[in-house]
Structure formats: structure tokens, C-alpha cells
Structure 1
Amino acid sequence: MSQTGNKSSSDGETKPQTLFVNKCIRGSKFRSPKAENRKESNDLKTTAFRPSDETPKPNMMKSPGEARARFSSKAARKGPESLHGAAYVWSLCTLHGVPALPPQPTCSSSDSSVLYNESNRQWILLTTNHKLHVQICFFLCSLLLALLPSLPDLEELDISWNDFIGRTLHLLMQQMHLVSKLKILRLGRCRLTADDVRALGEALKALPELELNLSWNSKVGGNLPLILRTFREGSKIQMPELVDYALTSEDGAFVGQLLLRLQNLEVLDLSINRNIGGSLNSIAQGLKSTLTLKVLKLHSCGLSQKSVKLLDAAFRYLCELRTLDLSCNKEMSGGFEDSPGLAVLEHLEGLDLHQCSLMADDTMWLTRCIPFLSSFQELDLSANRKMGSSSENLLSRLQFLPALKSLLINNCALESETFTALAEASVHLPALEIVNLSWNKCVGSTLKLLLETLKLSTSLQVLRLSSCSLATEDVALLASVIQTGHLARLRKLDLSYNDSICDAEWTIFCQNLWLLKELTKLDISLQPSAFQERGQWFRHLLCAVTKLPEITEIGMKRWILPASQEEELEGFDQDHKSSIHFDHGGFQEADFSRLN
């Protein structure tokens, strides 16, 4: 739960009751086990788990304003449906002051153990026992139900990524009257069943204006009307999230009818519902009534050439649209010809068409539209290899987008002429923050074409040149640009999979690296088939690292560490205390602390 502190009245006295502004229970997102172990290895204690007599009790809270609870159970699995062999991690409860369950001696059970993290007051269960897992699931559900009476002002409830919600949601829905002020409910990836969906639909009759997110629950498919039928015409709902519901064609038709009732809708995300392409006619008709829509995402929805025509007709009504995502719909290829609708979206700021198999006709369509999109800030055309040879005119037109901040054109099979056109246009893009040219081999030996852009782009924060066949002179050029004080705001630099760079140029590059004071990530990994011994440049890299206050990760996969440099690394580790991670991809690995 996030809350504000007590507010003072006009006479300066503190109000006796805490005002909850944005209270929520969130499912936490976990780092990888390696990251957890590095951070918490000194804080974990092992104990036996006793839910029967040591359950945290709500009366331990001194006041609602002091209560903080977080429930999460994101499992790291070998397969999506696997329970055995999983490591279940959650925070049982964080209450005021003392942890609910005191640390115990090491558990001797061979199939389960419970770890306690003192710094975060979190309990972590590691188990391969299915029955134990089920017991814990019901325990957590009971704990959540016990907390609800203490949260009458709850406005946001996020219990996503909790397997224990599936099959038990009806118990929670029976108590929803206790949180009548609830505005947002998130149940993403909770393994909801058809019975859960029915229970939710009944409960929503009393909360028709609730913002709902059930993304990544495949059992919702075919049952969508049971949930959303309560939405009234003129509803104030602004953002129903319907990602990866396994929606059927019938569900898609229902969504089209539903849109007619949601005139205040601002965000519609139907991504990863591959069967709704056949009902896009109904959805497109519904979109014509959503005049306030700002974000439309149809990523990986099985759209076809016919779908493009239907959407094109709807675009004329979406005057407020800011973001459009049609990515990963390969069947749309060739369907954009004679589709002028995009040009009327004068407020459009972001367009994502990556992996759409764009062809010459599609590229020509986009070229005609660009001059009308003066508000454009983000363009993603990556992974469209068929457009490479026909995109010269398109890339030259980018000069008409002075507000462009992000350009992703990686893996597009660009040719020398198209890259030249891009380089010439980029000089007119002073706002660029992100540029991704990775996997375009034509960049090698021609990076000098971007020299003026690199000097003028004072806003550039991310530059990715992975697998671009960079030559020695390219790295020398990059080093000189850094040396002259340009690229000062660069935060992420990816030079990986460029194996032809000699040791001398790596040395020059590393000698100037310390000038990138805002750099957080650097990747100079080699290709999977390439292994090389590190040269003298590695010593200069270590020296630069000590002068980079923001650096957290350096990718160096498949660089072999000689014994002499291993000693340097050990000395570096002893002399500095911070958190820089040198990523060797499992080949060799060392973690260093950062200078405070």
C-alpha cells in the first residue's frame, strides 16, 4: 500500500485519522535468483514453516496508516504449467515493526525450506512439494481476506502473479463490499478459472466503474461477456486491459459492442489475442465511438490485409490517438497500400510496426504519411528485412520529424544507400534519445556517415550497434567523438557481436570511456562462436569503471580472462565496494562493488 502521511488541518493540528490517497496491495516483480542471492545472501535465515499457529494477525497493526502488506508468488518454472521443481517466492506479510514469523533453526526437510530476509522482512519458500504449495496458497488467501476489513479506503488492489488466487477468487469476491472505494483491480497472471471469471462478473455488478486488468489469464477467453457485461453506456472506464486473454472471435465481437458504451475510453490493449482478427470488423466499428482514445495496441492479434482497411476507416475518428501498436502481425504485409488514414492522426506520437513483414508498397505508404505526423516521437520498424532495399525515401523523410526521440530500425537489412539516407536525415533530429541500428551489416566501415549526428545529438542516451560488422576505424571514430566531449548523456552503449576490432582500438576506446559519466550499461560481448583473450585494454577498462558513478553492468561474454588479469580483477574487488556486474554469461563471472 502506498499512502501519504497525515495531513494537517487549517489550524495546524494533525488529523486523528490517516488519509489514504492511493492504497494498494501489489504483486512484486522479482529479480533473477542470482541477483537475489548476491543482494540478500547475508540476510537470509532458514526456518521451518508453521502456518497453523504463527499466522500474522491484522490486530498487530497499530493503525490503518501503519499497515503495509504485499502479496506475491511469481514462480520460476521449467514449464508454464509445472509445479514440481519450482521455487515459489513471496512476501507473506510486512506489518508494523516485528516480522510475523520469527527466524527458526535450519529446516531439515528435503523437499521444502523457508528463508527469512531480515532487511526486507520477507519470507521466501523454496519447495518441490505440491501439497505444501496448495496449503500455503490457501493460507495466503485467508491472510488477504483477513486484511480487507482493515482497509476500508482501499483504492487500488494489485495481486497479480499469484497462483493462489486461481480457484479461490470467489472467496475474495464475497468480501468486495468491504472495499467499496476500490477503483483499480489487477489480477494479471493469476491462473484464473472459468468459475473465478463467473464470480468476478457477479461481484462487478456492484462496481461497474472498476478499472480491471486480467491480462495473461488464458481461461478468460470465451467467458469475456461474463465479466464485462456490467459496463454501462457512458461508463467512465478509461483503461480495460485485455492482454493475452486467449479471446475468441465471439469475444472480439463482444468487445466491439462494448466499445460503443465506453465513450471515455483512453487506452485499449488487445495484444496477444491471436483469434480476434476475424472479428475486427466489429471492433473497428466500436472504435469509431471512442473519440477520446489515446492508446491502441493490437500487437500479435492475427491481423490481415483486410484488417488494415478496417482500421484505416476507424482512424478518421480517433483524432486524439497518441500511440498505435500493430507489431507482430505478419499477415498485414502489403495491406497498407492506398491507406491514407494514418495521415489524419496529427497527434500521433508513437508507431510500432516491428516484425510486420513490411514490403515496398507498405514503405511507400508510410513515406507519404510522415510529413503529416509532426508530433511523432517514437518509430519502431525493426525486424522488417524486406523493407531494407526500398526504404531510402522513407528514411530521408525522417528529417520532417524534428521531435523524434526513439528510432528502432535494427535488423532491417539496410543497404549502403538507405544507410546514407538515414545518416543525412538524422542530422535534422536533435531530440534523438534512442537509436538502434543493430544487425545492419552496412554500418560497418561507414559509421563516419553518422559523425555529425553523433556530435549534434546532445540528448542521445541509448546507442545500439550490435552485430554491425564494425571495423577498427569505426571504434576509433566513436572514441574520438567521446574524447571531444560529445555523447555526454549516453547511458547505454551496445557494441556487442563485433569481433573484428583490434586490441589497439579497444585500448583507445577504454581510455576515453571514463568521459561518459552517465553510462549505466556497456556491452562488448563476442558472438557465440567467438572466444578471444582479453588484451591490455582490459586494464584501461577497469580504470575507467572506477570513474563512472552510474555504471552497473558490463557485458563481456566470451572474452577469456588470462591468469594475470584475473589477479587484477581480484585486486579490484578488494579495493572497491559497490555493485558493478561483469556479465560473462556463465563462462566466468565476477561481481564488483561500486565506489561510494
Structure 2
Amino acid sequence: MSQATRSSSSHGETKPQLSFINKFFRGSKPKASRAGDREGTKDYKASDSTPSNETQKTTASDDAKPLTSEVDSGAGLERKEQFLQRFGQKSARTCLDLNTCGLTTVDVEEMAALLPFLPDLEELDISWNDFLGGTLHLVTQQMHLVRRLKALRLCSCRLTVGDVRALGEALGTVPDLKELSLSWNSRVGGQLPLILQKFQKGENKIQTLELVDCALTSEDGAFVGQLLPRLQHLEVLDLSINRNISSHLHTIAQGLKSTSNLRVLKLHSCAVSQESVRQLGAAFRHLGELRILDLSCNKELGGGLEGSPAELAALQNLEVLDLHQCSLQAEDVESLTQVVPLLSGLRELDLSANRQVGHCSANLLSRLRFLPALTSFRIHNCALQSQAYTALAEACGQLPVLEVLDLSWNKCVGGNMKQLLHVLWPQSLQVLRLSSCALGTQDLALMASAIQAGHLAALQTLDLSYNDSICDTGWTLFCQNVGLLQELAELDISLPPSACRECGQWFPYLLCAVTQLPKIRDIGMERWIFPASQQGKLASLEQDHRGSIRFAHSGF
């Protein structure tokens, strides 16, 4: 429905027309096909503004009257159930989740008409619906009827400028709001003060604010820094993928000093520099409750951790530290070496894609043994040297709950698998990634032996891709034993783009192993060419499992 059509229908020229809600709750005919609905929304979405004030007032007036005087509550509840069933929901007393439902303009109208019948609604999620843009005012006009709303999620909805302004006006009618997620809406950028104007007064309960990839401007960054002291209940702040706020990270850092309840801080890909990370370090002393810190993909950060172990050590409750792709230097590694033993509660550590780490991290990796709660360690593509790899292997023997280990793209692993395989705790490791590690036939033979011994009994994901130096003997030994990994769900043995080989005598063993793996779902075999003689067996296997197993391969 185009905006012009909506305006003329609301005013009427010859005789009054029933409002949408009146038609909806009095048993309107079933909707047209969803494809038709999508076509009907295109003209409406073409405009990047909300209807005029007069049109909005008329719509609000038409919508409000039937809810109180004309609609039978029993009929309304029945229509509510029909709407929910159409989207696979049985009940929506406190939660309405229409995430990724392909909502059309008509769907949004119907949903808005439901809100008066959901006075106890606490969570509303309409994220990832492309056609929602330009229609949000239909929802915000009714938002005062769900005053108990605590969580509002509008991620990736192609919100227009008119939408975000209408949202800012409506947020003042939901005093109990605790979570607001607007990520992946580029029109939020430049409008943030209008959206969060209600929070400026300091009378708010907001705990989660997510603004990932919202095209925030430098001015928005300054506004966030000024707003933070008023968000006394804030626990989660995600400003990731907003590089333009970098010029005001010092203001944000200053504001963070007032958020003592903060538990999650994510500044992934925000152009954090050496200087700004030092300014953030000064705020860490005030963030004793912080559990998750994500500074990843900030290549300008390298060298900024030098001389700041005391600031990082102040995060004594930290559980997740993500520093991948930060161009870490030797000085940064030295600071982390001093800090890591003090973060005894750390569960996840990611140092991946920092190639300087591989040359100077032996001391750091040896101190991982002081992290008894560590469940995930990622250090792929770090150019690890043999001394650092040996230190890591020894430390892994003292990590009883390690579930995820990613060593991909470190060539030193090849020829040295023995150091690692026999120290891993068999009851814990679930994900092992060894892509492009220069593994050889002997390495795969050692893995087959470790599988026989039960050292990888809990493994769910095994990535051996891009290791093209393994001969058929090695693959045969591996495939003869992989069937013992009863928890295995994902296996990748793809070849690198530069290679292409025919499967050898080991392929029948792999097909046999698949029948013994009750949880297997994905098998990556890109650039392996299957022998034509095995085509029937593979087709039969896929048919027996009714498509539940996906073979990614290059054909016969």
C-alpha cells in the first residue's frame, strides 16, 4: 500500500470507510498471498519519511476507537490467536517473537492491532524483517498500551528516518524498558539523540543498548559519552562496527567510569587507536563487574596495551577477552603475560590474526595453565613458532575444561601433533580446528591412534581442511577410525583452492564411518573428486538419511 493510498483511504471522499482494526477484528477475509503482500509494500517503502502529522493523527484516531467501543473482546482474542498461529506461535502473553518472519505492511498493521490485547507484553522482537521500514509508526502509536514492555528488538529492519524519530517519541511511554536493540539500521546514525532523548533525563531502567553497524556519526559518539552517566543500570553496551565514533572514544571512556554495573562492552571494529585504548584502560578501574570485553578488529590498537597491566588486571571478573586482529605487538604480549595469571575466571581468549604474537608468546602461552576455567582458546593465523607451540601444548594438559581449540593456519603444528594430542582432556574438547597446519601423513596416523585411545571422545567439530600433504595412507588410517567419534557433527577435509585430487581407497571407509556416526550433519570435501564407482553408494547414503547429512564436494 503506497503512502498516498493510505492517506486518501484514511480521510475518505464519499463515505466513511472502516478502519483497518475494525475490519480486522470483525472477521475480515483472509489475506492475499504473501507474495502479493510483498509487492504491495514496495511503493510504500520507497518513501523515507512517515506520513504527515494530520495523517498520523487520523490513523491513530481511527485505530483507537474500535479497541474500546466497537470490538468484542472475544472476537479480538480469537483473531489474535489466528495471527499468532500463522507465524507458528501458540501464545504471546509476555513475549511476541516475529524475528525473521518476512513481515509485510499488512502484517505490521495486524500486529499493531494486536497490541491492545497484549497488556502484559514484556518482549517484542520484530528483527530482520526488511519490509518493516516505513511502517514502524503503526507500532509506536500503540506502544503506550504495552507499558510493561521490557525488551524491544528492531535489528536489521531497514528503519527510515521517520521510523527512528517516531520511536524516540514513543520510548517515553514504556517506563520499564530494559533492552533496546537497533543494530544494523543505518538510518539510526545521526539521529541517536532523537531516539534516546528519553534516556537523557536519567529516569530509565535501560540495561542493554545494542547499536551495531548503525552508521553512528562522530556527534553520536559524543552523545553516547554524555549519556552514559545517566544509564545507571546499564549492563550491556555494544557499539561495534561504528568507526566514525573513534574521534570521541575519549568521551565514551570518560562516561564509562560512571557505569559500574557494566558487564559487557563491545567495541569491535571501532577504529580504537593506541591512545584511545589507553583512555579506555583508565575506565577499566571502574568496571569491576565487566565479564565480556571485545576490542577485536581494531588494527590501530597495536602497542596500546604496553604498560597497562594494572588497568587490565582491574577486570578481575572478566570471562571473555577478544583481541583478534588487533595488530598486537611484542609490548602488548608482555603486558598480557603479566595480566593473564590474574584473570583466573577467564573462559574465552581470542588472540587470532595477530602475526607478531607467534614470535614472542611462549611465556604468555605457558601461563595459560593459570586459567583453570578456560573453555575456548583461539590463536589461528598467528605464525606460531615451535617454542610457542610447545608451551601451548604443555599448558593444554592443565586445562581440564577446554572445549574449543583453534590452531588453524599455524604451519608449526605439522609434524608435531604428538605434543598436543596426548595431553588433551578427552572428556572436554569439543571443537578442534587445524586448517592449513601443514599436517602430514604421520600426523593423521597419530590422530587415528589418539581416536582409538579415546583422547578425542567428546569431539563435535573437527576441521582438517587445507592440508594437502597427506597421502592416501594417512586418510585411510583416519577414516578407518573416525567412526569412533560418536559425538562428531561436523567434519571438514576440504582441499585448498590450488589443489584438486581424486579420492583414494579411503573413501569407502569414510562412507562406512558416516553410517556409524549418529550425529554427523556436515562433511566438507571441497575439491575432492569422487570416483564414479561410489556415486550409487553416496546417493543411497543421502537417501537413507533423508538429506540430514550434507556433503559439500566437487562432484564425480
Question: Where on the TM-score scale, by shorter chain, does this alignment land: which range?
Answer: 0.7 to 0.9
DSSP 3-state at the match of 1:272: coil
Counterpart position of 1:433? 403
Distance 1:96 1:60 in 2: 17
Counterpart position of 2:9? none
Q: Is the 8 A contact 2:421 2:455 kept in 1?
A: no
Counterpart position of 2:470? 501
Summarize the alignment of residues 109-508 of structure 1 with structure 2, pairs less than 5 Å apart. Answer: 137-210=104-177, 211-231=179-199, 232-233=201-202, 235-340=204-309, 341-454=311-424, 456-508=425-477
Summarize the alignment of residues 552-571 of structure 1 with structure 2, pairs less than 5 Å apart. Answer: 552-571=521-540
Counterpart position of 2:68? none
TM-score, with structure 1 as normaliser: 0.77
Distance 1:60 1:494 in 2: 55
Distance 2:426 2:290 in 1: 28
Question: 1:279 deviation in Å?
Answer: 0.7
Summarize the alignment of residues 38-53 of structure 1 with structure 2, pairs less than 5 Å apart. Answer: none
| Structure in which a larger fraction of residues adopt helix | 2
Distance 2:227 2:77 in 1: 44
Q: Is the 8 A contact 1:359 1:386 kept in 2?
A: yes
Q: Is the 8 A contact 1:514 1:544 kept in 2?
A: yes
DSSP 3-state at the match of 1:453: coil
Distance 2:90 2:75 in 1: 7
DSSP 3-state at the match of 1:253: helix
Distance 2:443 2:470 in 1: 9
Q: Is the 8 A contact 2:422 2:450 kept in 1?
A: no
Summarize the alignment of residues 488-567 of structure 1 with structure 2, pairs less than 5 Å apart. Answer: 488-567=457-536
DSSP 3-state at the match of 1:327: coil
Alpha-carbon displacement from aligned partner over 1:225-251 (angstroms, at most 9, x marks no partner)? 101120142632111111111111211
Decide whether aligned partners of structure 1 residues 242 and 47 sit closer, same or farther in structure 2, where only a CA change above 3 A counts.
closer
Distance 2:181 2:101 in 1: 26
Q: Is the 8 A contact 1:62 1:96 kept in 2?
A: no
Question: 1:484 deviation in Å?
Answer: 1.1
* Letter of the 1:442 counterpart: C
DSSP 3-state at the match of 1:385: coil
* Letter of the 1:509 counterpart: F
Distance 2:190 2:90 in 1: 43
Indicate the percent of aligned positions where both proteins have the same amino acid: 62
Question: 1:196 deviation in Å?
Answer: 1.3
TM-score, with structure 2 as normaliser: 0.82
* Letter of the 1:400 counterpart: F
Distance 2:232 2:106 in 1: 41
Please list every run of 5 or more consecutive structure 1 residues that lacks an aligned counterpart in the other structure. Answer: 1-45, 71-91, 98-122, 126-135, 590-596
CA RMSD of aligned residues (A): 2.5
Q: How many residues align?
A: 481
* Letter of the 1:512 counterpart: N
Question: 1:445 deviation in Å?
Answer: 0.4
Q: Is the 8 A contact 1:430 1:457 kept in 2?
A: no
* Letter of the 1:468 counterpart: C
Alpha-carbon displacement from aligned partner over 1:149-205 (angstroms, at most 9, x marks no partner)? 332322111111122221221222111123222211111111112221111111112
Distance 1:223 1:373 in 2: 39
Counterpart position of 1:7? none
DSSP 3-state at the match of 2:230: coil
DSSP 3-state at the match of 2:265: strand
Counterpart position of 1:580? 549
DSSP 3-state at the match of 2:432: strand
Question: 1:515 deviation in Å?
Answer: 1.1
Please list every run of 5 or more consecutive structure 2 residues that lacks an aligned counterpart in the other structure. Answer: 1-31, 39-70, 92-99
Distance 1:198 1:572 in 2: 55
DSSP 3-state at the match of 2:358: helix
Q: Is the 8 A contact 2:305 2:332 kept in 1?
A: yes
Question: 1:280 deviation in Å?
Answer: 1.2
Counterpart position of 1:69? 84
